[in-house]
Amino acid sequence: MAQAFMTEPGQGETPGRTGSRAGRLVNWWRPEGMWRRGIVLAVLAVLLGLLMFLHARVPNAVGNLGSLLETFLPWLGLGILLLFALAVLRRSATALVALLLPVVVWVNLFGGQVTDKAGTGGNLTVATHNVDADNPDPAATARKIAASGADVVALEELTSDALPTYKRELAKTFPHSTVQGTVGLWSKHPLSDSAPVDIKLGWTRALRAVVTANGQKVAVYVAHLPSVRVKLEAGFTANQRDGSAEALGEAIAADPVKKAILLGDLNGTMNDRSLAPVTSQMRSAQGAAGDGFGFSWPAGFPMARIDHIMTKGMDPVASWSLASTGSDHLPMAARVKL
């Protein structure tokens, strides 16, 4: 009688629905399962792609969220890598296909910055550096800048205590100089028409001078726009920076000299819409002729390019970052063709 209740091995079991390890493996790799799994990951991938594609539509009305997003926009690529890893672990074909959207958007936005676009030639090398008001060794910083090979150097965040040191250390390499407020310009070529630029701060953090090089006149602007802060109660506080950017853009647009170079710490990236009064009329040397993203701040682990070299009426040929000098910013350099 007992044998009547026995079944053959596997009898009465549904393939793929057994609780055995082999059955679970079959169900894991079943094609329809690969498409059904990872729906949440797929939705997240689409949302990430739309966020990057429509970043200009993110409003600034609340905490300047749009500018905050645009400041660190390239880093959203890490979200793609994370979702890719989760999609592979989940064995989700749906999520992997959905990831094509953010990948295409990211490559369209930043793919050109990954490659080396530096060329040869050029006849004027410029550099800019926020030397840090709390720099513990301004003399060493100045010597490194003097050895950079630049023809024209802009320094920002100069203090009254450190200024004599910078003047002394840079004088032999750069015989021409002008300092206005907390920004200065040193040049191997003659300077003229030096004057502060009003960027609506109440104190001087920008200047303009004309550099005469290779028989041509170039209006060189040095600017240090106000800092921005991320606060829980106020979000991305950048209103003062934005107002200064507008004033600086107006000054550059009205300049009678056709060729212009902007050097400085703008406390914002080229993606930040609030810098449009400046970026809309000038070319980024790093964007046009750089190698990589050219992040300049913070020096220990650069996450954003807020130190800029921009040109108007001339072509940048190459752009690169210099070695750390002890400041919290990295110096940036570029070679342009007048």
- Tell me the torsion sign for CA atoms 106, 297, 224, 211: negative
User: Going by C-beta distance under 8 Å and a sequence separation of 6 or more, which residues neighbour residue 310?
Assistant: 261, 262, 278, 279, 282, 283, 284, 285
Q: Where are the alpha helices (DSSP H) in the chain?
A: 21-29, 31-36, 39-53, 65-71, 77-90, 93-98, 100-114, 138-146, 163-170, 239-253, 276-279, 285-289
Strand partners, 45: none
Q: Which two tokens stand for residue 329?
A: 């910013």
Contact 210, 199 (CB under 8 A): no
Preceding omega of 175 cis (within 30 degrees of 0): no
List Cα–Cα distances, 3 to 7, 8, 9, 114, in angstroms. 8, 11, 14, 72
The secondary structure of 131-172 as a DSSP string is: --TT-S-HHHHHHHHHTT--SEEEEES--TTTHHHHHHHHTT
Q: Residue ranges of the chain with pLDDT lower than 70?
A: 1-34, 229-237
Element (H, E) at 283: strand 283-284
Tell me, what's the pLDDT at 292? Answer: 87
pLDDT score, position 60: 79
What integer pLDDT is reported at residue 23 of this predicted model?
A: 57
Q: CATH topology for 124-337?
A: Deoxyribonuclease I; Chain A (3.60.10)
Q: What is the pLDDT of residue 16?
A: 45
Strands 176-180 vs 183-187: parallel, antiparallel or unpaired: antiparallel
How much is the pTM?
0.83
Residue 20's pLDDT is what?
Answer: 65
Q: Which tokens sit at 107?
A: 């490559």
Structure token pair of residue 2: 């007992």
Q: How far apart are CA 273 and CA 267, in angstroms?
A: 13
Are the C-beta atoms of 151 and 123 separated by less than 8 Å? no
What does the pLDDT read at residue 61?
74
End-to-end CA distance of the chain: 103
- How confident is the model at residue 22, as a pLDDT? 57
pLDDT for the residue numbered 119: 87
Rg (CA), the chain: 28
Contact yes or no for 85/28 (Cβ under 8 A): no
